[in-house]
Structure formats: C-alpha cells, structure tokens
Amino acid sequence: MHIWKVAEVERCFRVKCFGYQVIMFWCAFVVFFLALGNELHLSHATEVSVNNTENKLCLYANLMVNFSVAYEVGVNKSESVLFVLPENVTTEGSICNNTTSTLKLGFGDGHSWAVEFTKDNKTYQVDSIVFTYNLNDSSVFTNSTSNETKSVTAKPRITNVGVDTYYSCKSENVQRVESVTQTLYDVTLQAFVTNGSKSDTDTVCTADLTSTTVAPTTTVTTTAAPTSTPTPTLPTPTTGNYSIAPDFNSTACLMATFGLRIGFKQGDKVETINLVPSATEVGGACGVNSSILILTSDTITIMFTFSNDSKKFHLHALNVTVKPATGVAVVAANTNMSIWVAAVGSSYMCNKEQTLTVTETLTLYTFKLRVQPFGVEKGEFATAHECSLDDTSILIPVIVGVALAILILIVVIAYVIGRRKTYVGYQTL
C-alpha cells in the first residue's frame, strides 16, 4: 500500500500564484472559497469496517491521523518526515471479542496503526494506540541510517464510551511519544457493535462538549430598562517567540515570532481571545518539504503547516481548536491556503495587523509576524520578505513624490510653451 507524505497531499491542493501580492492573496481567497464546502485537516478521512466470524459488523472507524516521525540520517544528525494515514488500508490482524477488541490498520511498506479496546458491562474504552513504522521504507524515511521496524505506544484519554454508542471527537487529540507525534482529528470509533450496524447514538469527547460553567445570578435593583454591556476590547496580543529544533543539541530549524488573536462565532455572537505565549507549549517538526508548528494552551490549540516547493515556501494549512470558558468548543481547518509566501532561505515578515479568515466561524489576527519554516541557519532569521501591508508605508510617499514630480513637470512644460508663444508674438510686432 502507498503511504502519503504531507508534501504529496499538499501538491494535490497547491495553487501557484505569481505576480503582485494582490494577485497572490486573491488566488488564496478563491481557493479558500471553493474549499468552504469541503473543509479538511491535513488529509482525507480513513473509513474502515471489520466483521466478526459471523460476517457481522463488530468494529467501525472513520477518522484522520497525521504522523510526524524524527529519525537518524547520520551521526548526530536527524530528519523529520510528515505523513498521513492513507485512505486505503488493510484490516488484517483486527480482532473482535466479547471484552477485548483490536482495530489494526496496515499501510505502506510495513507500517501499521492499532487501537486496543476493552469493555465492562456498560462502557468501553481505548487502552492504547500502537503505531509501528518501518525505517527501511526509503520512500518515507529517506536516507535513514537504520532499517529497524519500531513501535511506540500511546495512551489516549478515550474512556467511558457507552456500549452501543460510537465515540465522536472533532477536536485534535495530540499524542507525543519519544520521536513520534500522532494527531487525531474528526474521530468516529465504535467497538463491540452488537446489532451488526453502527449506532446512531454517540458519546461525544470532553473537548467537544458544552462547558457546564454556570453564570452567577445578578439582582437588578433599578427600574430602568437594562442596557447591553459592550464586549471589552482586548489589548494587543503579547508577541511570542517560538522555535522547533530536531533535538536538544541542535539549533532551530523553524522559527516564528508573532502576537495572535482568534475571533470565533458562538451562535450569533463573535468573541475574541488572545494567545498567551507564557502559557503556551510549543511542538512540531521540520521536514524537507513540509514543516509543522503546533501551539497549545488551555484554551487554544493551533497547528500551522508550511510547504516548500524548493524555491518558495508558504503557509499551506491551519488547524485550530478554541475552548472558550462558556459555550461549545470551536474546531476549524483550512488546507487550501497559499499565504505568507517567501523564497526558501529567507523569512516572511508582516509587522502590521493581518486578518486571516480560516473558515466562516473562525478568523485569525496576527501582529508583528515573522516566520521562517525552512533554511534557518545559526538560529537566526534570514533576510525578510515584507508583506504588502508593510510595503504600503513606503509606497505611499513614493506615489506622492512621483505625482508631485509629474505635476511640476506639467507646470514647467506649460510655462515653456507659454513663453515661446509670447516670444513669437513680440517678433511679429
């Protein structure tokens, strides 16, 4: 079976827009608009069904999984590869029993992803996820110095799923074990199917549930009509410095600095929240064709995916989860983006506030942005490609100066022509 690298997925959606930045942003908008009806994360969904010995459905899964694996390519040198769980997988090795079940998905050259379930009388849970990868697969692990097959075991918090219901979770579930990061999205799982068909009832994960926080009771002491309280204006977000290194002894391979605000809809109301750098964990990986930056706080999880076509890089995908103090968690993703474009070996910079529409329900605002996901040397940003918003501050005086120069030239020409006519008139007399 063929394993898909993130770079290959990105090529499927990439739109190359050359010329002025206005055209570039217009192209990105058009692609985004066409994708609104089919929002994805970094991959398509993988859907499988497993039947028991009586040829009845006993296991069902429909989910998306992204992998980031760091591996050795030389002495004290490592590389990271990003790839996804493909659509076409095998289920050989999957087992359905009364109290234990295993969903095993095989793909690529010796890779597998297995979920272990256990059940009591009323609920079931996921005990572990075992990811096995073959470093001898050169189509994925290019220049690997090892030909081993390795396994890592993660223990996700998927518990108390009601029997005869399916587990549902749209939010990101990130599992980091050793040199492997697994990210699950839009998960639908049902084990121990009793009626031979998937249930219509779901057990929703905590991240997707409505908060149970109860607002305090307020006593009105005036007879005047109540007035609505305006939403307080948030201060400018604090600028955070984020970086990814292949290992603890290496310099950064990805660098980013920015302040970040997120606007999201809760019903008909639009709310905003700032990312607090001091309360944010940094994760991700650097690859040859793709690099990922993951920022996680108590209220915000955001994953930036950058693509490299050997000449230019751009932000290709965004996956965002916001967990407000009240209301439902907001999950948004867009994988058809082509913004923050700069030559490989340089950085992209935009000091002015940028507004980035991810989906109809979520918008990003960046402040004092500078990113370099590829070609970082000595832990320092390379020469920056400035955004059009920053260029405007320089362009306006230039335009005004050119306009004044043209105006002066017109006045001089008119003056010369007037003088010539006057001189000819005197000669005639």
Phi, psi (degrees; rounded to nearest 5) at 11: -65, -30
Dist. CA 23–CA 48, nearest whole Å: 42
What values do phi and psi take at 226, rounded to 5? -65, 145
User: What are the CA-CA distances from residue 97 to residues 2, 123, 242, 393 (Å)?
Assistant: 30, 15, 46, 68
Q: What is the pLDDT of residues 327-354, one digit of tens each?
A: 778 888 888 888 999 999 999 999 999 9
Burial grade of 4 (CB within 10 A; 0-12, 13-18, 19 or more): buried
pLDDT of residue 391: 58
Q: Is the pLDDT of residue 52 over 90?
A: yes
Tokens at residue 391, please?
Answer: 């260029």
For helices 388-428 and 21-35, angle between their N-to-C axes, nearest 10 degrees: 140
Joined tokens for residue 359: 């989906």
Q: What is the number of alpha carbons within 13 Å of residue 297 lying toward its C-beta?
A: 16
What is the value of pTM for the model shown?
A: 0.54
DSSP state of 37: G
Helix (H/G/I), strand (E/B), else coil: 224: coil
Q: What is the CA radius of gyration of the chain?
A: 28
Lowest mean pLDDT among 36-50, 178-192, 265-279: 36-50
Instruction: Tell me the mean pLDDT in the region 34-39.
Output: 34
Separation between Cα atoms, residue 271 and residue 366, nearest integer Å: 16
